[in-house]
Amino acid sequence: MTEGELIAAPTPVSDVRLSRSRLWDERTRPQAPPPEAGRRYTPREQAGGRRLIEVHDFIRAELARLRTVMSELSTGAIGPAAARAGLHALALRPAETPLAGYCRAFCRIVLLHHNREDTDVFPRLRAFEPPLGPVVDRLEQEHEALHGLVERIDRTLVAEPLDVSGLRAAVDLLTDALLSHLSYEEHELVEPLARLWG
């Protein structure tokens, strides 16, 4: 394969919102400097640009599965035993109650992903391309806001009896914020990461 245009396509921003609440104002997000005109990318750089999207696609798929199980349990469409059987087929394999265990496992995956970005990827990007600083700053702020929401979900999960409507509201807000964040991150970082990891 020869050099060519960057083929990794960032995930489009969805117009669908599940929650009336917002964790941040998306209109205030800084933008990365435009890439060099006519830049060609090696196969290795192409792969580097796709890695972030692949990880995010995994998170999106797990979030969709979490939402499906939450919906089925809250409407009574399935009982705990059926939910547990279905969840054991998923990548995160919860060990606790079906919904609580899966929520906790999903939230751990998100936190680990953000921690890796904050401690490894973002410092490298700052050094590699200093004009990305405002974007990286914003992404770190969004990580903090998402972590606060994950803590809210965790508090809801340990309360007895389980507040299903409160959990649904928190997961709806997490869904909106996380999908928005992942898309923003891809739009701003796929091209610089292709060059960094290439």
pLDDT of residue 140: 92
Choose among 72, 54, 89, 45: nearest CA to 168. 72
Which residues lie closer than 8 Å to 98 by C-beta, 6 or more apart?
69, 73, 80, 83, 84, 87
d(CA 91, CA 178): 19
H-type helices in the chain, by residue range?
Answer: 43-75, 80-87, 98-116, 122-128, 133-158, 164-197
Amino acid sitting at position 154? D
What's the burial of 77, exposed, middle or buried (CB within 10 Å: 0-12/13-18/19+)? exposed
Which residues lie closer than 8 Å to 6 by C-beta, 6 or more apart?
35, 39, 41, 45, 46, 49, 190, 191, 194
Q: Which domains does the chain have, with CATH numbers?
A: 41-197 (1.20.120.520)
d(CA 39, CA 60): 30
Q: What angle do CA 177, 159, 61 make, to 5 degrees?
A: 35
Chain centroid to Cα 90, Å, comes to 17
pLDDT of residue 17: 94
d(CA 186, CA 127): 19
d(CA 120, CA 30): 21
pLDDT of residue 101: 55
d(CA 186, CA 133): 16
d(CA 167, CA 150): 11
Which residues lie closer than 8 Å to 4 by C-beta, 6 or more apart?
40, 41, 46
pLDDT per residue rounded down to tens, the chain (198 residues) = 588 888 889 999 888 999 999 999 999 999 999 988 989 999 899 888 788 899 889 889 888 887 887 777 677 776 545 544 554 454 444 444 455 555 556 556 666 666 677 677 889 999 999 999 999 999 999 998 988 887 787 777 667 776 778 878 988 998 999 999 999 999 999 999 998 876
pLDDT of residue 91: 43
